């Protein structure tokens, strides 16, 4: 708790300092030609030959006014009303692209692992630390790792302009930001996921494997690569692993972040799926998900939606013991909760704050780190 507090205070001070500097920057470096739509059109410089319909900017999508007729609509929380009004909107302009992320499309098979990390525009510190730690673009065990952050537009309109500028600066410096012109909100994460699969089809059709997750996880990409190298088929077969969740259904309690009312789905159960905090899939499976998603209405919970796509494709998600997206239970009370020996064996753990990612990434790579008996969880399915 003490640690958490100090971090918060530091973060507040840093962000205040940063914000003052940022205001200065905006004031001195602002010109009338940088409002978002302009930026967008300047950045849509992809090659027409490879771009599909889904990558092209389109006219604004209209709200479906008839949803107001659905019984009980007026009593629903605002974000659910919005979901129902806009769920038919599936095409959004790509404001920031990295067309050559995987090289020319005919050589994208040379990318072994693409890290596709969902990140809201405001999560700058998380992206910075991920770039320097587990998300670094590198060659490891002879294979190539690449990274993209998946983002929408800040949902708070007062932040939109400066956060668009931030993402653009990051994109120029790191070439790792995909941004689409929709509101980046929790209930739009499925939209983000669907647009990502469409982007994959156009830009990185041959990528072997994909890590798909949030920006608050600690992913041990060394172990992920070692595990994926041991998987037969090199990405040409079905693979979809993570923390498997089965026998659950929609939460009907209004207070829950995951509340899904009958107006969204009458079904009482979800298909098996993997926790969306972090999972691994093959290029083959990404393609299958893309195809199924075209004919499947959006569902507000993104990881459940992937489960629905898999079910439609006749493919099953599987569990991997080394992926812990729903809380970590440290195996023994003798181990410290932050013991690098524990994390060294895992593939992925949910909820690290940025500085913890830095410390842990360095610690598991310390040549003098001595650990006891290996639990070797990363090799087991």
Residues found near ligand NAG in the complex (CB under 6 A): 64-70, 79, 82-83, 86, 88, 104, 106-107, 182-183, 185, 187-188
Nearer to ligand NAG, 151 or 183 (CB): 183
**Least CB distance from residue 83 to ligand NAG, whole Å?**
4
Work out the angle between the directed axes of helices 302-313 and 189-203 (0-180°, nearest 10): 50
Nearer to ligand NAG, 156 or 380 (CB): 156
**Least CB distance from residue 211 to ligand NAG, whole Å?**
24
Q: What is the DSSP letter of 379?
A: G
Nearer to ligand NAG, 53 or 368 (CB): 53
- Of 245, 188, 237, 249, the C-alpha closest to 208 is 237
The residue with tokens 């890590």 is 211
Is 196 within 8 Å of 164 (Cβ atoms)?
Answer: no
Residues present in the chain in total: 381
- Of 200, 234, 238, 209, the C-alpha closest to 105 is 200
Instruction: Note every long-range contact of 364-369, with CB atoms under 8 Å and residues 24 or more positions apart, other chains counting.
Output: 364/220, 364/340, 366/340, 369/340, 369/341, 369/344
| 210 DSSP β-pair partners | 114, 281
CA-only gyration radius of the chain, Å: 21
Nearer to ligand NAG, 5 or 255 (CB): 255
Instruction: Note every long-range contact of 292-299, with CB atoms under 8 Å and residues 24 or more positions apart, other chains counting.
Output: 293/194, 293/197, 297/87, 297/88, 298/87, 298/90, 298/190, 298/191, 298/194, 299/190, 299/264, 299/265
Nearer to ligand NAG, 187 or 196 (CB): 187
- Of 180, 223, 229, 194, the C-alpha closest to 300 is 194
C-alpha distances in Å from residue 186, one per residue of 67, 118, 182, 256, 334: 20, 11, 12, 13, 37
**Least CB distance from residue 314 to ligand NAG, whole Å?**
27
Q: How far apart are CA 321 and CA 343, in angstroms?
A: 13
Nearer to ligand NAG, 264 or 357 (CB): 264
Nearer to ligand NAG, 119 or 243 (CB): 119
Q: How far apart are CA 151 and CA 96, in angstroms?
A: 9
Strand 138-140 to 217-219 pairing: unpaired
Is 121 within 8 Å of 164 (Cβ atoms)?
Answer: yes
Q: How far apart are CA 219 and CA 278, in angstroms?
A: 8
**Least CB distance from residue 88 to ligand NAG, whole Å?**
4
Nearer to ligand NAG, 70 or 143 (CB): 70
Q: How far apart are CA 347 and CA 329, in angstroms?
A: 14
Nearer to ligand NAG, 52 or 380 (CB): 52
**Least CB distance from residue 234 to ligand NAG, whole Å?**
17
Nearer to ligand NAG, 15 or 50 (CB): 50
**Least CB distance from residue 309 to ligand NAG, whole Å?**
19
């Amino acid at each position: 708790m003490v640690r958490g507090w100090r971090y918060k205070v530091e973060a507040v001070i840093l962000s205040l300092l940063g914000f003052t500097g940022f205001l200065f920057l905006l004031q001195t470096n602002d010109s009338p030609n940088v409002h978002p739509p302009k930026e967008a059109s300047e950045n849509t410089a992809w090659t027409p030959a490879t771009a599909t319909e889904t990558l092209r900017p389109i006219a604004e999508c209209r709200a479906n006014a008839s949803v107001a007729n659905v019984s009980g609509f007026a009593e629903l929380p605002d974000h659910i009303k919005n979901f129902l009004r806009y769920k038919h909107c599936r095409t959004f302009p790509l404001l920031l692209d990295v067309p050559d992320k995987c090289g020319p499309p005919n050589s994208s098979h040379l990318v072994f692992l693409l890290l596709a990390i969902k990140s809201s525009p405001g999560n700058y510190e998380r992206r910075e630390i991920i770039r320097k730690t587990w998300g670094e673009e590198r060659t490891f065990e002879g294979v190539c790792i690449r990274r993209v952050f998946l983002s929408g537009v800040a949902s708070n309109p007062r932040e939109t302009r400066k956060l668009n500028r931030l993402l653009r600066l990051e994109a120029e410096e790191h070439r790792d930001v995909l941004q689409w012109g929709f509101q980046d909100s929790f209930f739009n994460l499925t939209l983000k996921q669907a647009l990502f699969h469409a982007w994959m089809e156009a830009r990185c059709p041959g990528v072997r494997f994909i890590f798909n997750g949030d920006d608050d996880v600690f992913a041990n990409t060394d172990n992920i690569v070692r595990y994926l190298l041991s998987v037969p088929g090199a990405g040409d077969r079905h693979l979809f692993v993570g923390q498997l969740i089965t026998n659950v259904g929609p939460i009907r309690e209004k207070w829950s972040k995951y509340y899904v009312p009958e107006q969204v789905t009458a079904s009482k159960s979800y298909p098996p799926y993997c926790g969306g905090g972090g999972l691994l899939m093959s290029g083959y499976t990404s393609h299958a998900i893309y195809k199924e998603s075209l004919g499947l209405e959006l569902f507000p919970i993104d990881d459940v939606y992937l489960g629905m796509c898999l079910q439609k494709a006749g493919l099953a998600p599987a569990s991997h013991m080394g992926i812990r997206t729903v809380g970590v239970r440290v195996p023994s009370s003798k181990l410290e909760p932050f013991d690098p020996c524990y994390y060294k064996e895992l593939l992925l753990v949910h909820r690290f704050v940025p500085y913890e990612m830095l410390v842990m990434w360095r610690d598991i790579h310390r040549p003098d780190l001595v650990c006891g008996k290996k639990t070797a969880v990363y090799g087991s399915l």
